[in-house]
Every structure is written in C-alpha cells, then in structure tokens.
Amino acid sequence: MIWREPDLFYGDKKPPRALAPMKTYRAEPRSAPKPFAWESMGAWVRHMHRLFALEGPNSDHYRRTRETARALTVDRIRECRHDDDLQRCEAMLVEASAGWLYGLDRAFNRAERGALLVEVRNRRHLIAIGRDAPKAKGPKLDPRYLPDDALDRLIQSHADVATVDRLRHERERRAIERGG
C-alpha cells in the first residue's frame, strides 16, 4: 500500500507529465535606476543625504545610491572651489560606516575612501592658503634662479658631475648675456 491517497482518475499510477507551457508569464525586466546627476559638491552631498534618509531594503535604491556615490571622483573634487561643501564631503567620508543601512562604506572600499579623503583634505588646504591649483612640480635645483656667488660655490662643491655641467653652462650663459 502506498502512503498517499490514490488519485481519483489514475488510481495508484502517477498522472502523465504535463507539457511545458508555450508561454511563460514573467514580469518584464525593469531598467536600472539612473544615478542622480550633480554639478557641484554641495549637490552631491544633498543627493547622498536624501538617499541615506530612505533606508528601505531595495536593490534599485542600493544601486542608485552606489552609482551616485561613485560619481564622486578625484577630478571632481579638484574642480570644487567651495570649502564648506568640501567640509561636508569630508565629514561624510570620515563617518562612512556610522550606522547607515547602506552608506558610503558599501559604495567605496576603504582604500578608495582614503584616496578621496586625502584629495578632499588637500583641496581644502589649497583653498585655505589661497591657491587655485597645487604648485607645479619642477626641478629642485634650477640654476637660472641662483645668485652668482651660490652658483660659483655649487660648481666648486657639488658631487654630481651632471649638475656641475648644468651650473657651468648657466655661468657661461650669464657671461654671454653680460657681454663678455
């Protein structure tokens, strides 16, 4: 005797397998939500706070939050000219894992947050000292700006032969400019 009740139409035999339906009814795939567009650092901060205020477990919300957060790049930080917006951004990066359901700690890994934080702090420092861009990197020893006595002293005492040759060429150039 079998453990189940016998089927009314088939008795103890199994019913025949049903054919696969000709058309399956599935929901149409939705397009992913686009990240919020922003032009200033203040707008990015406002968008992120708006997204963090909605703490609902929703994959579309998580995707939009992640994509909006990842729109913050080093180049966009360098374009910012407002210290108060950079200060808010710095606070958000520092407090990335402060208890949000889905915060900046999910959008950026620790190394990426660190690189962004360094850039924000460097930018704030440049704004504080009144510069628009960092100093251009150049040679540490530029013979054109050395006074004559320092030039002669370096020619006599410098250990690098290539540098001494550059200093001698500079001394000769100055002598030609003076007319002698």
Residues 85 and 154 grouped into a single domain: no
pLDDT tens, position by position, 104-147? 888 999 999 999 999 999 999 999 999 988 887 766 788 888 89
Residues 49 and 94 grouped into a single domain: yes
Residues of the domain holding 161:
143-178
> Does residue 149 carry a pLDDT above 60?
yes
Once rounded to an integer, what is the mean pLDDT over residues 89-118? 88
% of the chain exceeding 70 in pLDDT = 83
> Does residue 150 carry a pLDDT above 80?
yes
Q: What pTM was estimated for this model as a whole?
A: 0.61
Q: How many angstroms from the chain centroid is the CA of residue 153?
A: 47
Lookup result for tokens 């934080």: 117
pLDDT tens, position by position, 36-79? 888 899 999 999 988 888 877 788 888 898 999 999 999 999 99
Residues 45 and 123 grouped into a single domain: yes
> Does residue 1 carry a pLDDT above 50?
no
Residues 116 and 152 grouped into a single domain: no
With CA atoms as reference, report the closest residue to 174 among 139, 138, 141, 145.
145
Residues 49 and 117 grouped into a single domain: yes
For the chain, percent helix, then strand, then coil, each to nearest 5?
55, 0, 45
